[in-house]
């Protein structure tokens, strides 16, 4: 009987000792923050380049939507930009060389006519005092001379203007039209690029939500990627222990079926208690409070953890 009592006492001591050694250990689970890859534009799923479980790197193609209308819009924007640039260059230039040559020829012709009308006028001015020419003839010769002079001034001004090109405000308008077409082309190219989506981070393809040929609405995710850096462990720590845990503390996580622990660090401690009503807590009810604590791992360690997996978490060294 005495031996039995001693055995029971030793067992209780061992249990008490085990309880003291597990003070920093709580249960938790693996959580993943998934990256949902979607296109901002709608379309039929033309190509799906990955499957569930595929490992992808940043920049690897994930999927492509049909893009016939976006290609047509891009091509149209390119042609309109070429047209706008041509209009701008044309506005900066004067008239065509053949047109300028025609105006120069008209100017020479008018100058020759002026030389003749000036001679006629001089002749009539000599004849008028002798009554050999009438006053009407003199006036007609003077008018013909003045018309040729004005015609020469007009042609010289037109020729100067023809060599200058368009007015400044017309050139500004042509430049503005060209810049508007450049913006339209940039938007069309962006729309076209959004029909193909690539991985922004390395990780595992956790799921694909559409099959090829199905219609995908704008903004709906097609591929779900889980980067290793987004895997973490969540554990709920009693209120009596939360004060001893700090961000950056070392964490050891034990997983069923794996011999050694995974080492990480505390990244977040919730400032609010979980599953508690908004009442004034007594000392007895405070012992039921728990706080969520998150721990993260390096990428080489994180790839061995799977979302939803139950784990045992030990804080401290």
User: Which CATH number fits the domain that encloses residue 306?
Assistant: 2.40.30.170
pLDDT at 63: 98
In this structure, the answer to whether residues 159 and 83 fall within a common structural domain is: yes
Asked if the structure places residue 9 within a domain, the reply is: no
Neighbours of 14 (CB within 10 A): 10
Asked if the structure places residue 151 within a domain, the reply is: yes
- In this predicted structure, the answer to whether residue 282 has a pLDDT above a threshold of 80 is no
DSSP three-state, residue 21 = helix
pLDDT at 129: 84
pLDDT at 139: 86
pLDDT at 214: 97
pLDDT bucket at 23, cuts 50 / 70 / 90: low
In this structure, the answer to whether residues 127 and 275 fall within a common structural domain is: no
In this structure, the answer to whether residues 260 and 174 fall within a common structural domain is: no
pLDDT bucket at 286, cuts 50 / 70 / 90: low
pLDDT at 166: 66
pLDDT at 102: 85
Tokens coding 52: 């569930």
pLDDT at 294: 87
pLDDT at 133: 78
In this structure, the answer to whether residues 268 and 215 fall within a common structural domain is: no
In this structure, the answer to whether residues 132 and 176 fall within a common structural domain is: yes
Q: Would residue 208 be called left, alpha or beta, if left means φ above 0 and alpha means ψ between -120 and 50 degrees?
A: beta
In this structure, the answer to whether residues 122 and 198 fall within a common structural domain is: no
Q: What is the pLDDT of residues 38-97, one digit of tens each?
A: 999 999 999 999 999 999 999 999 999 999 999 999 999 999 999 999 998 888 876 777
In this structure, the answer to whether residues 45 and 147 fall within a common structural domain is: no
> Where is average pLDDT lowest: 11-15, 118-122, 142-146?
11-15
Residue ending a domain, among 131, 163, 189, is 189
pLDDT: which is higher, 282 or 199? 199
pLDDT bucket at 19, cuts 50 / 70 / 90: very low
Q: What is the pLDDT of residues 222-265, one digit of tens each?
A: 999 999 999 999 988 888 888 888 999 999 999 988 888 999 99
pLDDT at 303: 86
Q: Tokens 């034990």: give the residue.
A: 254
Residue ending a domain, among 189, 214, 248, is 189
In this structure, the answer to whether residues 239 and 261 fall within a common structural domain is: yes
pLDDT at 287: 58
Asked if the structure places residue 203 within a domain, the reply is: yes
In this structure, the answer to whether residues 57 and 106 fall within a common structural domain is: no
In this structure, the answer to whether residues 55 and 202 fall within a common structural domain is: yes
Total number of domains constituting the chain: 3
Asked if the structure places residue 50 within a domain, the reply is: yes
Q: Return d(Cα 117, Cα 140) in angstroms, integer.
A: 10
In this structure, the answer to whether residues 198 and 56 fall within a common structural domain is: yes
Asked if the structure places residue 114 within a domain, the reply is: yes
Eight-class DSSP state of 219: T
pLDDT: which is higher, 160 or 16? 160
In this structure, the answer to whether residues 222 and 239 fall within a common structural domain is: no
Q: Return d(Cα 167, Cα 169) in angstroms, integer.
A: 6
What is the CATH classification number for the domain harbouring 202? 2.40.50.100
Asked if the structure places residue 60 within a domain, the reply is: yes
Residue ending a domain, among 189, 218, 240, is 189
Q: What is the pLDDT of residues 136-181, one digit of tens each?
A: 888 888 899 899 899 888 888 888 877 766 678 888 899 999 999 9
- In this predicted structure, the answer to whether residue 17 has a pLDDT above a threshold of 50 is no
Beta bridge mates, 48: 63
Asked if the structure places residue 232 within a domain, the reply is: yes
pLDDT: which is higher, 195 or 164? 195
pLDDT at 193: 96
- In this predicted structure, the answer to whether residue 20 has a pLDDT above a threshold of 80 is no
Percentage of the residues of the chain whose pLDDT score is greater than 70 = 86
DSSP three-state, residue 220 = coil
DSSP three-state, residue 35 = strand
Q: For the chain, what is the mean pLDDT?
A: 84
Q: What is the domain extent for residue 199? A: 35-67+194-226
Asked if the structure places residue 149 within a domain, the reply is: yes
pLDDT at 169: 84
DSSP three-state, residue 36 = strand
């Amino acid at each position: 009987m005495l031996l039995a009592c001693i055995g029971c006492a030793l067992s209780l001591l061992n249990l008490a000792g085990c309880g003291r050694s597990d003070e920093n250990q709580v249960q938790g689970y693996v959580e993943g923050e998934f990256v949902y890859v979607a296109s901002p534009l709608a379309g039929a799923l033309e190509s799906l380049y990955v499957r569930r479980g595929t490992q992808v790197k940043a920049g690897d193609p994930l999927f492509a939507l049909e893009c016939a209308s976006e290609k047509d819009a891009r091509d149209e924007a390119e042609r309109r930009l070429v047209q706008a640039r041509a209009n701008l260059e044309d506005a900066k230039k004067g008239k065509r060389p053949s047109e300028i040559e025609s105006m120069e020829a008209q100017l020479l012709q008018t100058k020759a006519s002026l030389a003749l009308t000036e001679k006629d006028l001089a002749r009539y001015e000599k004849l008028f005092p002798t009554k050999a020419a009438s006053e009407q003839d003199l006036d007609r010769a003077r008018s013909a001379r003045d018309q040729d002079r004005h015609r020469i001034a007009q042609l010289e001004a037109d020729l100067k203007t023809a060599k200058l090109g368009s007015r400044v405000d017309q050139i500004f308008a042509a430049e503005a039209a060209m810049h508007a077409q450049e913006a339209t082309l940039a938007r069309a190219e962006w729309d076209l690029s959004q029909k193909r989506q690539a991985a922004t981070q390395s990780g595992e393809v956790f799921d694909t939500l559409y099959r090829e040929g199905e219609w995908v609405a704008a903004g709906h995710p097609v591929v779900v990627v889980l980067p290793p850096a987004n895997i973490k462990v969540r554990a709920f720590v009693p209120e009596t222990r939360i004060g001893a845990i700090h961000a950056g503390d070392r964490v050891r996580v034990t997983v069923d079926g794996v011999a050694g622990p995974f080492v990480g660090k505390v990244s977040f401690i919730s400032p609010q208690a979980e599953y508690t009503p908004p009442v004034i807590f007594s000392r007895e009810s405070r012992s039921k409070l728990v706080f969520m604590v998150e721990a993260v791992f390096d990428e080489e360690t994180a790839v061995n953890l799977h979302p939803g997996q139950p784990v045992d978490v030990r804080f401290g060294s």
